[in-house]
C-alpha cells in the first residue's frame, strides 16, 4: 500500500493536510479493555515485587522480576497473537510503556529495547520462516532481544560502521568481524539484530542487517557498563570474531541495512517518547503532593505563585507531550502514513520536555530533591539518557529539517531547470506561478477545529505559510550547502516541531469538546490555549531569527575557544 504523505512534511510546502490528523485518534473499545486489564496486573506486580531504589543501588534487575515480567507477557506486547504475543497496536504498546516506566525505568527500558528496536526488524522485514523460528520464543521472553548498531567510531553516522560480513566460499554463511558498543540488553539477550557492511553484487559495500544469536561461535559480550542512570538495565559491548551466521539470517535484503535500521528507529522512538510521558506524569503527581504537604512561612508552598508557575509549566509540558505521542501512534496504527518526521519530533520534544520537568521537580522539592532518600535524583539520572538514545536530539533536528526540505528542494530544482528552457516548460512554470498566487490569496484553513480556538488557528495557518517561505528562502540562499548550515536547519526543525505539536494539542482539545461538551472540557481548553499562546510566541521569534540572528558571533566565539583550548578570560 502506498504511503500517504507526511502531515509535518506538508508544512515545508505550505500545505495543511488536515484529513491526516482529524479526528484525534482513539483506542478501540476491545483493545482498551485488554490494556486496562494488563495495567491492573502490572500495578499489582510492581507494588509487590519491584523495588526501584534497590534496582538502582544494585545495578541489576532481580531474576524473579524478569521472570515475573515474562509471565505477565510483557515481552510479547507487539508480537502478533499467532506467534504467542498480545498483538498490541502501537498505541496500546506505548500506553503500556507509559505506565510501566512509572514503576521502574530500568525494567521499562529492558522491555522497550527488546520490542521497540531489538526484534522490530524481524517483525517488519523477517521472512515467514524467520518469524516462525524466533517470534514465539521472543514473545515469552525465553529469548530476549537487543539491537546492535553503534560502534566506537560510528554513532548517529550509521553508514560509517566498520563491522564486516563476508560471504563464505560455500555460500552458506556470512562471517562477521567487528565490535559494537552500548548495546542495551547486551548481557541478558540471546537474540541480536546486528548491522555489518557487506559487498553487494554491484561491487559496492553496503550495510546489511543480520539475526545473530548468542550461541553462534565467535559471538561474545563484554562486561556491564557503569552508567549514570537506568542502572538496572543491561548495557554491554558486543564482539564478533569470525562469527558464522547462516545466510538465511539476513534481515530484509543484503545491502538494505541502513533502510532497515531507519525504519526500526522511526518506530522505536515512539516507545521512548511514551516512556518520557510516563515519568512526567509521575513527577507531577509527586510534586503536587509534596507542594501541598510542605509548609513554609505558615502555609503550604502550593500557595506560592512561583511554585504554581512550575506546576503549571509541568502540566503544559505533559499535555503537549501526550497530544504529540498519541496523535503519532494513531498515524502508525493506520498503517499507510509516512510518520518518520513525526516520530522524530515526538522523541526530541518528549525527551527535552521531560528534562525541563525533572529539573523543576528538583527545584520544587529543594534539598529533599537532591537527597537519595527521595526519588527525584534517581529520576533525573534515569531520564538524562533520553536526549541521547536512538539518535541524539541534535542529529534528529538535522533529520527533521533535511527530510522536510527534500521535497521543496526537488521542486525548486525542477523550476531552475525549467527556467533554462521556459518555452518547453511553460506548463510547469505556470503551475508553479498559479500555486504561488493561490497561496497568497487563499491560505489553507482548518475546518474541523472548534471555533473557540480561532484566535490560535488563524495565526497557526498563517505561520505554516510563513514557514514554507523561510524554507524556500533558505534553499535559494544556500543551495546544496544547506546540508552544512546547522543553525538555519535547527530553526526550521524547531518551527516544524512547534507547528506539529500545536496542531496535535488543538486537535485533541477539539476532540474532548466534541465528546464531552465544553463544560466537561474546561481543563483541556485552558491548558491547550496556554500552550497555544506560548507556542505562537516561539514560532514568531523563530521566524524573525531566520532574517536576523547571531549565528556568526556564535561561530566566532566557538573558534576562539578552540584556538585557546578552553576558557582563558580570567577576570582577576
Active site (catalytic) residues? 390
280: closest CA among 344, 359, 346? 359
Locate cell 540562499: which residue? Answer: 477
Locate cell 570474531: which residue? Answer: 241
209: closest CA among 187, 234, 191, 221? 191
| Run of H or E residues at 394 | helix 393-420
CA dihedral 526, 528, 531, 534 (to 10 degrees): -70
Q: What is the C-alpha to C-alpha distance for residues 62 and 66, in angstroms, rounded to an integer?
A: 7
Q: What is the C-alpha to C-alpha distance for residues 160 and 156, in angstroms, rounded to an integer?
A: 9
Q: What is the C-alpha to C-alpha distance for residues 261 and 207, in angstroms, rounded to an integer?
A: 10
Residues 6+ apart with CB under 8 A from 505: 319, 320, 323, 528, 531, 532, 535
Locate cell 507531577: which residue? Answer: 284
Per-residue CA distances from 317 to 324, 349, 531 (Å): 11, 9, 8
Per-residue CA distances from 67 to 14, 74, 215, 229, 542 (Å): 52, 10, 21, 23, 50
DSSP code string of 417-457 = HHHHSTTTTHHHHHHHHHHHHHHHH-----SSS-GGGHHHH
Output the furthest CA–CA distance in the chain (Å, rounded): 82
Give yes or no for a contact between 482 and 489, defined as CB atoms under 8 angstroms apart: yes
By three-state DSSP, how is residue 183 classified? Answer: strand
Phi, psi of 193 (to 5 degrees): -95, 110
Please state the length of the chain: 572
Give yes or no for a contact between 500 and 324, defined as CB atoms under 8 angstroms apart: yes
Residues 6+ apart with CB under 8 A from 304: 296
Distance of CA 320 to the CA centre of its chain: 14
Lookup: cell for 224: 556491564
- DSSP summary character for residue 253: S
Q: What is the C-alpha to C-alpha distance for residues 473 and 478, in angstroms, rounded to an integer?
A: 9
Amino acid at each position: 500500500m502506498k504511503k500517504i504523505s507526511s502531515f509535518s512534511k506538508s508544512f515545508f510546502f505550505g500545505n495543511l493536510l488536515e484529513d491526516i490528523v482529524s479526528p484525534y485518534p482513539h483506542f478501540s473499545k476491545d483493545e482498551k479493555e485488554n490494556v486496562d486489564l494488563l495495567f491492573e496486573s502490572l500495578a499489582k506486580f510492581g507494588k509487590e515485587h519491584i523495588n526501584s531504589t534497590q534496582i538502582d543501588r544494585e545495578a541489576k534487575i532481580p531474576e524473579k522480576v524478569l521472570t515475573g515480567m515474562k509471565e505477565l507477557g510483557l515481552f510479547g506486547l507487539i508480537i502478533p497473537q499467532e506467534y504467542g504475543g498480545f498483538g498490541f497496536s502501537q498505541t496500546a504498546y506505548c500506553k503500556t510503556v507509559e505506565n510501566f516506566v512509572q514503576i521502574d525505568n530500568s525494567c521499562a527500558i529492558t522491555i522497550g529495547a527488546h520490542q521497540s528496536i531489538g526484534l522490530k526488524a524481524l517483525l517488519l522485514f523477517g521472512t515467514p520462516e524467520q518469524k516462525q523460528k524466533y517470534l514465539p520464543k521472543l514473545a515469552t521472553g525465553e529469548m530476549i532481544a537487543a539491537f546492535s548498531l553503534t560502534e566506537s567510531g560510528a554513532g548517529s553516522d550509521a553508514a560509517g560502521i566498520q563491522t564486516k560480513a563476508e560471504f563464505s566460499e560455500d555460500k552458506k554463511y556470512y562471517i562477521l568481524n567487528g565490535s559494537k558498543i552500548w548495546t542495551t540488553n547486551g548481557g541478558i539477550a540471546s537474540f541480536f539484530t546486528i548491522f555489518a557492511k557487506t559487498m553487494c553484487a554491484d561491487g559496492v559495500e553496503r550495510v546489511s542487517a543480520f539475526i545473530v544469536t548468542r550461541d553462534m561461535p565467535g559471538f561474545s559480550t563484554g562486561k556491564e557498563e557503569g552508567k549514570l542512570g537506568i542502572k538496572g538495565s543491561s548495557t554491554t559491548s558486543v564482539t564478533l570474531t569470525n562469527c558464522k551466521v547462516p545466510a538465511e539470517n539476513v534481515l530484509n535484503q543484503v545491502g538494505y541495512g541502513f533502510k532497515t535500521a531507519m525504519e526500526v528507529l522511526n518506530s522505536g522512538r515512539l516507545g521512548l517518547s511514551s516512556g518520557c510521558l510516563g515519568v512526567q506524569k509521575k513527577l507531577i503527581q509527586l510534586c503536587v503532593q509534596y507542594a501541598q504537604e510542605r509548609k513554609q512561612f505558615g502555609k503550604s508552598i502550593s500557595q506560592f505563585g512561583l511554585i504554581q508557575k512550575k506546576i503549571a509549566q509541568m502540566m503544559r509540558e505533559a499535555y503537549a507531550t501526550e497530544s504529540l505521542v498519541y496523535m503519532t501512534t494513531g498515524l502508525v496504527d493506520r498503517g499507510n502514513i509516512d510518520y518518520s518526521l513525526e516520530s522524530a519530533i515526538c522523541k526530541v520534544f518528549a525527551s527535552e520536555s521531560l528534562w525541563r520537568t525533572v529539573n523543576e521537580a528538583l527545584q520544587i522539592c529543594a534539598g529533599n530533591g537532591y537527597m537519595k532518600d527521595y526519588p527525584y535524583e534517581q529520576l533525573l539520572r534515569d531520564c538524562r539518557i533520553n536526549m541521547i538514545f536512538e539518535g541524539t536530539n541534535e542529529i534528529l533536528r538535522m533529520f527533521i529539517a533535511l527530510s522536510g526540505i527534500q521535497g521543496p528542494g526537488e521542486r525548486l530544482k525542477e523550476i531552475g531547470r525549467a527556467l533554462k528552457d521556459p518555452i518547453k516548460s511553460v506548463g510547469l512554470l505556470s503551475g508553479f506561478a498559479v500555486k504561488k498566487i493561490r497561496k497568497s490569496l487563499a491560505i489553507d484553513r482548518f475546518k474541523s477545529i472548534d471555533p473557540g480556538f480561532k484566535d490560535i488557528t488563524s495565526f497557526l495557518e498563517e505561520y505554516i505559510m510563513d514557514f514554507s517561505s523561510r524554507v524556500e528562502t533558505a534553499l535559494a540562499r544556500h543551495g546544496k550547502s544547506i546540508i552544512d548550515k546547522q543553525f538555519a536547519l535547527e530553526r526550521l526543525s524547531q518551527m516544524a516541531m512547534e507547528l506539529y505539536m500545536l496542531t496535535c494539542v488543538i486537535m485533541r482539545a477539539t476532540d474532548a469538546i466534541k465528546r464531552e461538551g465544553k463544560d466537561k472540557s474546561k481543563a483541556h481548553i485552558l491548558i491547550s490555549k496556554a500552550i497555544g499562546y506560548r507556542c505562537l510566541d516561539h514560532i514568531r521569534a523563530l521566524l524573525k531569527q531566520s532574517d536576523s540572528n547571531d549565528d556568526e558571533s556564535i561561530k566566532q566565539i566557538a573558534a576562539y575557544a578552540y584556538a585557546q583550548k578552553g576558557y582563558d578570560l580570567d577576570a582577576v
